[in-house]
Structure 1
Amino acid sequence: MNINHLSLSWSTSRGRETYGYNICRLDDRNTGRRFRCMGGGYDMIGTVFGMWLEETYQDRLQALRGTEGTFYGLRFLNDGKASLDGGTGINSMTTIAEAIGLEVEREYAKKGRNRGNTLGWYVTEKEGA
């Protein structure tokens, strides 16, 4: 059974043109890959999760071709690649993940002032998927 541990972290940009923007990062502990987005006003958590899902499971996403209207945030580009708009929300992205045979379990802070905040996810490939 393949389990991916994805960790979520936040910081603030100190860049010249982006000073003060929120930065959301998702780190895939298995591959060492990092996905990030910056700004605000959209679901940044869904965006980084969607980026990871799109890059890691492009082959499985192809199985959803023809169901673009069924899964909010999924579309197929002219070159045939599946594209995910994570700004539609983390719930949309986890629905798509489950449709391609993944089980997503949220890791969250259980104590302290940040109790309930998402720290990351454990993503498991379902049996027979």
Structure 2
Amino acid sequence: TTSTTSTSTTSTTTTTTTTSTTTTTTTSTTTTTTTSTTTTTTTSTTTTTTTSTTTTTTTTSTTTTTTTTTVYDACAHLRWNQTGVVVAGTGSSGSGSTQFDKSACLVIDASNTLYVCDHHNDRVQKWLSSATSGTTKAG
């Protein structure tokens, strides 16, 4: 009697790691035979990366100028004389340079010049301070 025991263990480990990065590859193959047949194979890979940054800054400046003009307010500065002195006109109605006919308004400017609206004579009379007669400015 013959007894044979045989044990065989085989272990094979193969590890292959391939890392390939191709940015641009151009392959060109040309084959020419005597029968004038031409075969051309072209492979082209192009990778283009464009980064563009645009920064725009706009500054707006506004200047505002305010001018204030103060109008002379005779009513706030002048007072009526209690004794009543005639400064324009004669007290009698008429159309002369020293008379008025239904005067409707009066204005005193900053230089104390008196303007009288002489309604029925259709005119505006100007009286300078201490004048004895007026001059027609409109009408």
Name the TM-score, length of structure 2 as normaliser: 0.20
Compare the two structures and name the one with the higher strand fraction: 1
Compare the two structures and name the one with the higher helix fraction: 1
Higher alpha-carbon Rg: 2
